[in-house]
Chain A
Amino acid sequence: MADRPVAIVGGGPAGLAAAVELRRRGVGDVVVIEREAEPGGIPRHARHQGFGLRDLRRPLSGPAYARRHADLARGAGVDLLTETMATGWARKGEGAPGALELTSPGGRSTLAAAAVVLATGCRERPRSARLVPGSRPAGVMTTGMLQQLVYLEGRPAGRRAVIVGAEHVSFSAVLTLAHGGARALGLTTELARHQTLAAFRLGARARYGVPLWTRTRLSEIRGRARVEEVELTELNSGRRRRLPCDTVIFSADWIPDHELAVSAGVELDEQTRGPAVDPGLHSSRPGVFAAGNVLHGAEQADVAALSGRHVAASVVRYLSSGDWPARRVPLICEPPLGWVAPNVLTAVGSAPARGHFALRAHEHLRVPRVRAIQDGRVLASARLPRLMPGRSARLSADWTARVDAESGPVALRLA
């Protein structure tokens, strides 16, 4: 039997927004499990501006945005457990999600909820996962660690840094490094272009004069105790050059923090590497929902929060009816399309958050036409302004009623 109706794992924007919306919809008892001492997720240490436009309708810095969400949750009567980590599942039974195993300074416990929302977010892939060879000196880190080092711990971040990546977060690292007293020497991307909003890029470049090295791979890290230099390879010419520096920031290249989802036994989508969910954010396992950036590489925080807000309606419906979508039709991308989320179609028929799918490509594509095809039948054909890695395009969901639930997977294909 469930101890409580809803447990949300993860107190970032998605989890907190889900909790607030569940309370607004009349769920009497909502618990959020957050492993950090402070709720708010990644925005806690992303001090740049630009958070909250789409969900709170006001521009905020990351920390202010994180505090605002935590205040809203507390104000809504959400039970917010901090320094509490869900480390796994106990009593995994048929049908129900099982009980979460929790560790906190108060002790070890289990929590069985009728519905569990996984809102565990995502993280940047580190140097090792990207298989960058060389020695293993100090001074190599992700943007997430850099932000915490500079903004939360007030620790030095080196003096001369190279940033791997050219997404929004990569340019934010230029600002973070400057705040920490370090200079960004340049950003590298293996692609032919950066993958961010031009305005933000120009802002960072104009202020700090940081070059962007496109079609360039950081091919080796050298140094003994601390980074001493890196080797950059120009992919078009094959030319290699050395660049002295003491810090390397691996930015972007996000991956869902999906361990708890895997141990819950939910299906993952091979392309997003997050739980495969339908537009109502139902996973393959009854009672287990997923929302926010655990579903895919990072969207901005306000988009994650809207995903959290969106999941509440499905949770409430499930709590009252106990129904779970049975027939799941996969929605898959064909290259150069990269991933789509949500990525399962079910007969429940709810629209995705904000009325559209998020779609990414492996390369930059201008005004591409994208078709949704099921068993040779074209269900939809849409022209998009652009597609690129690192940033999602919106694909309207107005065609999902034409999906045949008894038929094969739906493919998204470039026309």
Chain B
Amino acid sequence: MERDVVIVGAGVVGAAIARELARLDLRVTMLEAAPDVGAGTSKANTALLHTGFDAKPDTLEAGLVARGCELLREYAPRVGIPLEHPGALLVAWDEGQVGEFGGIVERAQANGYSAMRELDAAELYRREPNLGPGARGALEVPDEGLICPFTTPLAFATEAVLAGCELRTRTALTAAQRLPGGGFGLETGNGALTTRMLVNAAGLYSDEIDRLVGHCNFSVTPRRGELIVFDKLARPLVDHIVLAVPTKVSKGVLVSPTVFGNVMVGPTAVDIERKDDTSSTEEGLAYLRKETGRILPALLDHEVTAVYVGLRAATEHGDFQIAFADGYACVAGIRSTGLSASMAIAEHVRDGLGLGELEPRRGLAQPRMPNLGERFPRPFAQGELVEKDPDYGRIVCFCERVTRGEIRDALAGPIPPTDLDGLRRRTRAHMGRCQGFFCGARLDAMLAQAAGDG
């Protein structure tokens, strides 16, 4: 066998698993069909670190979200993943929704979460004075957090690579078969390899990978979620994550600050056919604007900085679909809580593959990710850093204040970006209100030079 473990998919879940397993004494390879880590569903989500208060009790998802939240809260500050805890307010807009508070609190308690508190309308408006009219009250969920959805999978993948994990991007798995005597023979777009164990963390494509391996336990229906990101000048309008009372269909539209200092509204939830159709729609954007006008009307006076679309990998089953069979782990149906649950899913997969007894190797390097969040000073604002290296004083992206030094570091990093979108996720360059009016051409030239064709 060439490898001990091959992980298919380098989203936040695959990368978390790669990190967990690469720290053991194992030869690990992570395959990713896209050109970069975290470039699918992981890059376009609500970027919340959920406590799991609203999960269906006694499900695998409930347990893994709660545990994952705990693990990520400890891990994030250690490696420099931006994380904030503004807390959430679950707002009721009519008496019927107020009536559901009791059930929501009970469900949270069943999930082991008991820090919720009910606020009346007066206190709600004192805490969030810009909310639209008509709110009747809220449940406060003080531990709901914001996390950087870009840094998280990159941190996992970077730690995995530093620990010796091989990362093959632009490499899709095209065939897999069990070998006589154990293990798997794999065909990829870039050659064949053999492995003792195989982990399917292919997100939207996990059902197709599952079939390649000879199983057929579920099918994935992409659920489109459109998100609107508003200008940073709108950030003072809202202090908490403003959640909706969930319905049977969806958790509803939320309004939330981001770790970058913007305000985000979304997601929509529409089941679609194609797994690569990350298009925003006229109807979706109109619906989000209507919801914005209802929830936080003053936001509509602000400019829209970006529109994102993520496809959640929903299955016909209500819970995560994680199964183990003779060296094969299928990790699927991680709909919208993959970011929160990722580290716990990794532990669960480690144990499910019978690797729980292995000790992590000693002396492994821990990555230190560049700080993309607003909570701590960014390089441009650190005088000492600029004095040591003037490139941290050369601001290239004016809107997001990203310096030449940070772009240089990203291009020379252990997992360098391959395109503008990858550079954006590593540095925030091009993420701001001008969307490249000022820096787009310079970034294009810098990327071309790094790729050797400038």
Residues of A at the B interface (CB closer than 8 Å) are 35, 83, 85, 87, 101, 103-109, 123-129, 131, 133-136, 138, 141-142, 144-145, 148-149, 152-153, 155, 219-220, 222, 224, 255, 257, 259, 262
Contacts and interface: CB of A to CB of B under 8 A. Distances in A.
16 contacts: A83-B393, A103-B386, A104-B393, A105-B391, A107-B387, A123-B437, A125-B303, A126-B437, A128-B304, A141-B436, A144-B438, A149-B441, A152-B442, A219-B282, A222-B279, A255-B303
Given A127-B435, A144-B438, A148-B440, 17 more contacts: A85-B395, A85-B398, A101-B381, A104-B393, A105-B386, A108-B386, A109-B383, A123-B437, A133-B282, A133-B307, A134-B279, A134-B280, A142-B435, A144-B437, A153-B445, A155-B441, A224-B276
Contacts of A106: 386, 390, 393
A224 B289 CA distance: 26
B305 A129 contact: yes
Contact of A105 (B393, B433, B438): B393
A109 B382 CA distance: 10
Nearest to A154: B445
Contacts of B289: 131
B307 A128 contact: yes
B2 interface: no
Interface string B285-307: 10001000000000000011111
A398 B450 CA distance: 59
B326 interface: no
B233 interface: yes
A22 B334 CA distance: 63
B94 interface: no
B304 A129 contact: yes
Contact of A107 (B232, B386, B395, B434): B386
Interface string B387-407: 100110111001001000000
A412 to B, nearest CB: 22
Given A107-B393, A128-B305, A129-B303, A148 B441 contact: yes
A87 B303 contact: no
**Residue in A138, A145, A224 whose Cβ sees the most chain B Cβ within 10 Å:** A145
Contacts of A35: 395, 398
B444 interface: yes
A154 to B, nearest CB: 8
Given A83-B394, A103-B393, A104-B393, A145 B381 contact: no
B280 A133 contact: yes
B383 A141 contact: no
Contacts of A153: 441-442, 444-445
A262 B433 CA distance: 15
B347 to A, nearest CB: 34
A152 B395 contact: no
B278 A136 contact: yes
B449 to A, nearest CB: 10
Interface of B: 232-233, 276-282, 284-285, 289, 303-309, 380-383, 386-387, 390-391, 393-395, 398, 401, 419-420, 433-438, 440-442, 444-445, 448
Contact of B306 (A128, A142, A259): A128
A125 B419 CA distance: 23
Contacts of A148: 440-442
Contact of B437 (A105, A108, A145): A145
A135 B278 CA distance: 6
Nearest to B446: A153
A108 B393 contact: yes
A252 to B, nearest CB: 12
A354 B355 CA distance: 79
Contact of B284 (A109, A133, A135, A257): A133
Nearest to A257: B434
Contacts of B381: 87, 101, 103, 108
Contact of B285 (A133, A135, A257): A133
Contacts of B419: 138
**Residue in A83, A105, A106, A262 whose Cβ sees the most chain B Cβ within 10 Å:** A105
A56 to B, nearest CB: 25
A105 B390 contact: yes
Contact of B380 (A103, A222, A259): A103
Given A103-B393, A133-B284, A138-B419, A128 B383 contact: no
A174 B380 CA distance: 37
B389 to A, nearest CB: 9
Contacts of A224: 276
A144 B442 CA distance: 12
A123 B434 contact: yes
Given A105-B386, A135-B279, A136-B278, A87 B380 contact: yes
Contacts of A133: 279-282, 284-285, 307
A155 B445 contact: yes
A126 B282 CA distance: 17
A407 B303 CA distance: 33
Contacts of A101: 381
Contacts of B282: 133, 219-220
Contacts of A128: 304-307, 435
A220 B419 CA distance: 23
A257 B289 CA distance: 24
A53 to B, nearest CB: 26
Nearest to B44: A136
**Residue in A101, A123, A222 whose Cβ sees the most chain B Cβ within 10 Å:** A123
